[in-house]
Chains A and B, each alone.
Chain A
Amino acid sequence: MTRRARTWLPGLLLVLPSIVAIGVFVYGLIFWNTRVAVSGRHDEVSPYRFDRGRNFADLWDQPSWPGAVRHALLFTVVFVLGALLLGAFLAFLMDKGIRGEASFRAVYLFPMAISFIACGVVWRWLMNPAPPERAVGLNQLFGELRLGALANGWWQDPDWGMAAMALPAVWQMSGYVMALYLAGFRSVPEELREAARVDGASEWKVYRHVVFPQLRPVTLSALIILGHISLKVFDLIMAIAGKQIITYVPAIATYVEVFDRHDPANGATIATYLLLAVALLVVPYLVWSVRAERAR
């Protein structure tokens, strides 16, 4: 073994398992999935046949698919904005300094430790849509507080139900966003704030012009994390509603196509669409972060 090989070989061997694993289980499977997606394999028996990606257009003729896309968009908007705003607001309160900050931090961060399944089971009960007189959960609470008018169908509303479905997800992830923002707030040097105050800036203006502009990277990474979680959402919906059209989303559709309808091509097509949607979020972020690294 030459001296030069000694310097790089062990390192290479150390990372080789990861490279192999990522190559096979990530890129290999992406390739395989795409290969199935552009095939005419609409059952498990017929042989492979390339069909020039007709599935990507045909999918839109499936009666359940446009609804799934609409649900995913509605869910994403409510979930991402909700978690972002609530997380930022909580972090802001913490940053202003409140008593018992450590325990509040733990309380808000804690939901993230719970799986979406467990969270879904609890929220299925909370969001019971029965009218207050025979409801459990929130509608019953509204009834007892004489706020019966607030009782609603939650996720079973055909038009806006998916907005309600995003509530458990907001509850679960806003603590994490709060932690991100809090770290961001704390990284703004106290001298900068002091300087602004000396210049006569009000407390609001300090945040508006000094602190928030420095939080753009935090906001962006929170957006990426929330966005891709939102597009992949599966377990939360399975726990609350199961496989029902009223809460159909692309990830559920993949499962139904592959395991219920036995149509691998359609399932792979939906999975490819999901991958593209996530890539739309992640690729600009990667470009941006590489540029930011270079600029440094």
Chain B
Amino acid sequence: MRAQASGRRRTAAAAVAMTVALVMPGCGGNGSKGSGDTSEVEVFSWWTGPGEADGLAAMKADFEKKNPGTKFTNAAIAGGSGTQAQAVLASRLQNRKPPDSFQGHAGAELLDYIKAGQIEPLDSFYDENRLRAAYPGQLLQQITYQGKIYSVPVNIHRSNMLWYDPGILKDAGVSAPPRSIAEFIAALKAVKDKTGKVPLSLGAQWTADHLLENVLLGDLGTDAYNALWKPGADWGSPAVGKALADFAEIMRYTTLEAASTDWQGAAKAVVDGKAAFNIMGDWAYGYFTGSAPNGLGKKAGTDFAYAPSPGTDGTYMWLSDSFTLPKGAPHRGGALAWLKEASSKEGQDLFNPRKGSIPARKDADKTLYKGYLEYALNEWNRPGVKLAGSFWHGVNAGKRQHTDIDTAVGLFLQNKDVGKLQAALAGAAKNSGP
């Protein structure tokens, strides 16, 4: 009898303990306020892949040397172009538990954070560290929102690059990479008619979005393209209609099975001699030339060659990874020290050669950049170069417009209706918010 009773009591105690354990996590508190605390810095990014993780490690080492009192916590979350990381980040920001600094694509992709009041403007930081002179003026102008700058660009990628197989072009009788959209369409036709190869390799739906921004830039020119992303832009114009018709024409030369592979599979078709052209950002170069298992170990010039995408020579369609200062960052002092590192010449020169991108600053050490990167750095610093923001990679379209364009393109891939595509793009621009 007694044993039974004590057994029951134990059951009850266990039940109470479990209840408490279940309820507890709901009421955890966080009292610390944002301050000049420099004891620590938690840096949130999606740099976990080969190259980019090495670049981050090199910057971290330099940061720790310069800030011996600050503990660096790498809060990187894996996942291509940050899809996973951004979902985690969104929930942390909404729960008011921001990291000290997080990575984002510079430009309109940060608008949601800005409008939600989740990140701080960095104008005084730019002034204190004399960054306004260090970065190209056009770049700062394109990441300014209502007169304020909210991020510190670390690197620059170029999204308007054409990768091609010189051998297939020769077989098709195409002597040079096409310099306009019209020449491009002619070249695609020649490849289709004269060789058995795929004229233009394409991957999953988003690579069609990427192609679309290249066709728009190539057909409209830089100024008209940039104007498309201003409030009240005219997406219904005949010029846009012409570009979309060209886009539809180009899509006819792509593979049927496009949707089953990501950009790597599509890009690989070019260096494997299966496809003549591929349009992808310059991260493809790192993939082509890197060593196994993450790269393909190919040689530029023989296995593949590159040129600006048709009609975009002289324009740098850029995207940039950058860092921000969240409001209420628990270690604000540490965060500012990190931003200083990320915006410094040394930091960027440590990071970029490893990641396979070029520094956003104008004063980089040119000797560190070889092969394609040397070409890219020269193009970036070429006098008279025009800058255009890549909408797909977050520079000039907010997340809503970005998603709506993706939906419009996805529907277009099925119904092939150019008129509907143009109407949907106009609608996406109108609903994009202020």
A-to-B contact residues, CB < 8 Å: 6, 9-10, 13-17, 20-21, 24, 43-45, 63-64, 67, 124, 127-131, 134-135, 153, 156, 158, 241-246, 248, 256, 259-263
Ordered by A's residue number, 19 sampled pairs between the chains whose C-beta atoms are within 8 Å are A13-B15, A16-B19, A17-B22, A20-B22, A43-B433, A44-B112, A45-B116, A128-B257, A130-B256, A130-B260, A131-B256, A153-B257, A242-B204, A244-B205, A248-B410, A259-B87, A261-B399, A261-B403, A261-B404
Q: Tell me which residues from 395 to 427 in chain B have a Cβ below 8 Å from any Cβ of chain A.
A: 399-400, 402-404, 407-408, 410-411, 413-414, 424
Considering the complex, give the chain B residue whose CB is closest to the CB of A9.
Answer: B12
CB distance from B119 to the nearest CB of A (A): 13
How many Å lie between the Cα of A67 and that of B433 in the bound state? 26
Also in contact, A260 and B257, with CB within 8 A (given A13-B16, A17-B19, A44-B116): no
Residues of B within 8 A of A6 (CB): 5, 8
Do A259 and B86 have beta carbons less than 8 Å apart? Answer: yes
Which interface residue of B11, B15, B424 has the most chain A CB atoms within 10 A? Answer: B15
Residues of B within 8 A of A259 (CB): 86-87, 90
Residues of A within 8 A of B112 (CB): 43-44, 262
Known: A241-B260, A245-B407. 14 other contacts (CB 8 A): A14-B11, A15-B15, A45-B117, A63-B407, A124-B260, A129-B256, A129-B257, A131-B256, A153-B256, A245-B411, A245-B414, A259-B90, A260-B399, A260-B403
How many Å lie between the Cα of A20 and that of B15 in the bound state? 12
How many Å lie between the Cα of A63 and that of B409 in the bound state? 11
Which interface residue of A9, A45, A243 has the most chain B CB atoms within 10 A? Answer: A243
At the interface, yes or no: B255 with Cβ under 8 Å from chain A?
yes
Residues of B within 8 A of A248 (CB): 410
Residues of A within 8 A of B175 (CB): none
Residues of A within 8 A of B262 (CB): 242
At the interface, yes or no: B23 with Cβ under 8 Å from chain A?
yes
Q: Tell me which residues from 1 to 26 in chain B have a Cβ below 8 Å from any Cβ of chain A.
A: 5, 8-9, 11-12, 14-16, 18-19, 22-23, 26
CB distance from B80 to the nearest CB of A (A): 10
Residues of A within 8 A of B12 (CB): 9-10, 13-14
Considering the complex, give the chain B residue whose CB is closest to the CB of A260.
Answer: B403
Also in contact, A156 and B257, with CB within 8 A (given A10-B11, A245-B414, A260-B403): yes
Considering the complex, give the chain A residue whose CB is closest to the CB of B11.
Answer: A10
Summed over the interface, the residue pairs from A and B with CB atoms below 8 Å come to a total of: 106
Also in contact, A263 and B400, with CB within 8 A (given A124-B260, A245-B407): yes
CB distance from B375 to the nearest CB of A (A): 32
Could you say which of A21, A124, A158, A263 contacts B414, with CB atoms under 8 Å apart?
Answer: A158
Do A262 and B205 have beta carbons less than 8 Å apart? Answer: no
At the interface, yes or no: B94 with Cβ under 8 Å from chain A?
yes
Residues of A within 8 A of B122 (CB): none
How many Å lie between the Cα of A243 and that of B209 in the bound state? 13
At the interface, yes or no: B252 with Cβ under 8 Å from chain A?
no
Also in contact, A245 and B410, with CB within 8 A (given A17-B22, A128-B260, A153-B257): yes
Could you say which of A9, A64, A244 contacts B259, with CB atoms under 8 Å apart?
Answer: A244
Residues of B within 8 A of A21 (CB): 22
Residues of A within 8 A of B86 (CB): 259
How many Å lie between the Cα of A124 and that of B8 in the bound state? 54
At the interface, yes or no: B115 with Cβ under 8 Å from chain A?
yes
Do B256 and A63 have beta carbons less than 8 Å apart? Answer: no
Considering the complex, give the chain B residue whose CB is closest to the CB of A13.
Answer: B15
At the interface, yes or no: B189 with Cβ under 8 Å from chain A?
no
Q: Enumerate the 3 nearest inter-chain pairs by beta-carbon distance, A residue then B residue, closest first.
A: A245-B410, A13-B15, A129-B257
- The contact string, 1 if C-beta is below 8 Å from chain A, for chain B 184-209, is 00000000000000000000110000
Residues of B within 8 A of A158 (CB): 414
CB distance from B288 to the nearest CB of A (A): 20
How many Å lie between the Cα of A243 and that of B87 in the bound state? 15
Residues of A within 8 A of B424 (CB): 63
Could you say which of B8, B259, B411 contacts A63, with CB atoms under 8 Å apart?
Answer: B411
Do A13 and B19 have beta carbons less than 8 Å apart? Answer: yes
Q: Tell me which residues from 218 to 273 in chain B have a Cβ below 8 Å from any Cβ of chain A.
A: 255-257, 259-260, 262
Do A20 and B19 have beta carbons less than 8 Å apart? Answer: yes
Considering the complex, give the chain A residue whose CB is closest to the CB of B9.
Answer: A10
Do B115 and A45 have beta carbons less than 8 Å apart? Answer: yes
Also in contact, A261 and B400, with CB within 8 A (given A63-B407, A130-B256): yes
How many Å lie between the Cα of A16 and that of B15 in the bound state? 7
How many Å lie between the Cα of A15 and that of B14 in the bound state? 11
Considering the complex, give the chain A residue whose CB is closest to the CB of B410.
Answer: A245
How many Å lie between the Cα of A98 and that of B260 in the bound state? 40
Residues of A within 8 A of B403 (CB): 256, 260-261
Could you say which of B5, B87, B90, B411 contacts A64, with CB atoms under 8 Å apart?
Answer: B411
Do A262 and B15 have beta carbons less than 8 Å apart? Answer: no
Do A63 and B255 have beta carbons less than 8 Å apart? Answer: no
Residues of B within 8 A of A156 (CB): 256-257, 259-260
Considering the complex, give the chain A residue whose CB is closest to the CB of B420.
Answer: A63
Do A246 and B260 have beta carbons less than 8 Å apart? Answer: no
At the interface, yes or no: B274 with Cβ under 8 Å from chain A?
yes
Q: Tell me which residues from 70 to 98 in chain B have a Cβ below 8 Å from any Cβ of chain A.
A: 86-87, 90, 94
Which interface residue of B22, B23, B87, B402 has the most chain A CB atoms within 10 A? Answer: B22
Considering the complex, give the chain B residue whose CB is closest to the CB of A12.
Answer: B15
Do B22 and A246 have beta carbons less than 8 Å apart? Answer: no
How many Å lie between the Cα of A17 and that of B87 in the bound state? 30
CB distance from A170 to the nearest CB of B (A): 20
